[in-house]
Structure 1
Amino acid sequence: MQTTHHGTIVIQPHAGQFVIDELPTLVLCCTVWVYGGMEGLPLTVLAVPVAVLFSLILLYRYIYLRRIRYRIGAEQLISEHGIIRRKVDYMELYRIVDFQEYQSLLQQLCGLKTVHILSMDRNTPQLDLIGIRHKDNIVAIIRERVETNKQKKGIYEITNH
């Protein structure tokens, strides 16, 4: 988590999230590489091209994950992702209505979490901030900025209980 001189917080998924997301493919890729290096076994000639293909897929997914950026500004939460074709989603903070944090077992072991944000935004009704360090209290920061923006715009929530 890094803060710019304008007070914008920039977050990037932790590299450990790649291992969590791609663990089965990583194991399979390593297994195929080892099998391809053995002599005298059937289909070892096919194993190397398959291993290269898996490796290229994993490389692409790693670069994709590392190029994700979440920017929490004074009025917007901006999500940027993509390699060849970049996509930028803008979510007005005053439209955010709820948060959830969750951790898979592997995320717990790695000290990471996913923050799920629900909003009234038509283009981005929900956004998952993946691979966030568990110790980073992102929800509190976003919540504070959401409340500030709602007060600035005179937006109040009416509930029936």
Structure 2
Amino acid sequence: MRATSSLSQPEGLELRPHRMQFVIDNLPSLVVCCAGGIYGGMEGVPYPVVGVAVFLCLMLVLLYRFIYLCRIRFRIGTEQLVCERGVLVRKVDYMELYRVVDFQEHQSLMQQLCGLKTVRIFSTDRNTPRLDLTGMRGKNDIVPLIRGRVEYNKRKKGIYEITNH
């Protein structure tokens, strides 16, 4: 996580998923790809071309997924959370911070072993009611930072939450 400013400055914070998240998300495909490459390179086995074809097809898919993961950017500004993603077609989602209502952190077993986590942000935004920041380092406290900016924006815009318990 690279901080470019604090809460009081107009710039924000830019986050990117850790590259180990690619291995976590694609472990079965990586195993099959390697097995196909090994099988296709062996002599005396039936249909080695099938192994090479599996290897090449999966390698292309995995390469695209890796590039996609590397191109994801999360920018936490003073008023918006911006998510950019895509390889051939870029999609940019904007979430107003004053609309954020809740947070959740999740770690799968593989993420725990790799020291990563997924931060889920819930909002009242129509286009993006849920935004997952996948592959964040486990030691980074992202939720308190976003929560502080959310509270600041709610006070700034005069938005108060009324609850019935």
TM-score bucket of the superposed structures, by smaller chain? over 0.9
Quick one: distance in 2 between partners of 1:39 and 1:90? 54
Aligned to 1:124: 128
Aligned to 1:146: 150
Match of 1:38 among 38, 42, 67: 42
Q: How far off is 1:133 after superposition?
A: 0.2
**Aligned sequence identity (%):** 64
Poorly superposed stretches of 4+, deviation over 6 Å: none
**Structure 2 unaligned runs (5+)?**
none
Quick one: distance in 2 between partners of 1:43 and 1:86? 40
Aligned to 1:4: 4
Q: Deviations over 1:119-155 (max 9, x none)?
A: 0001100000000000110000000000000000000
1:114 aligns with 2:118: yes
Quick one: distance in 2 between partners of 1:122 and 1:98? 15
Aligned residue pairs, count:
161
Quick one: distance in 2 between partners of 1:148 and 1:7? 15
Q: How far off is 1:102 after superposition?
A: 0.5
Where do residues 1-161 of structure 1 align in structure 2 (5 Å cutoff)? 1-4=1-4, 6-161=10-165
Q: How far off is 1:30 after superposition?
A: 0.2
Root-mean-square deviation (CA), in Å? Answer: 0.8
| Higher mean C-alpha displacement, 40-49 vs 57-66 | 40-49
Q: How far off is 1:39 after superposition?
A: 1.1
Quick one: distance in 2 between partners of 1:138 and 1:7? 16
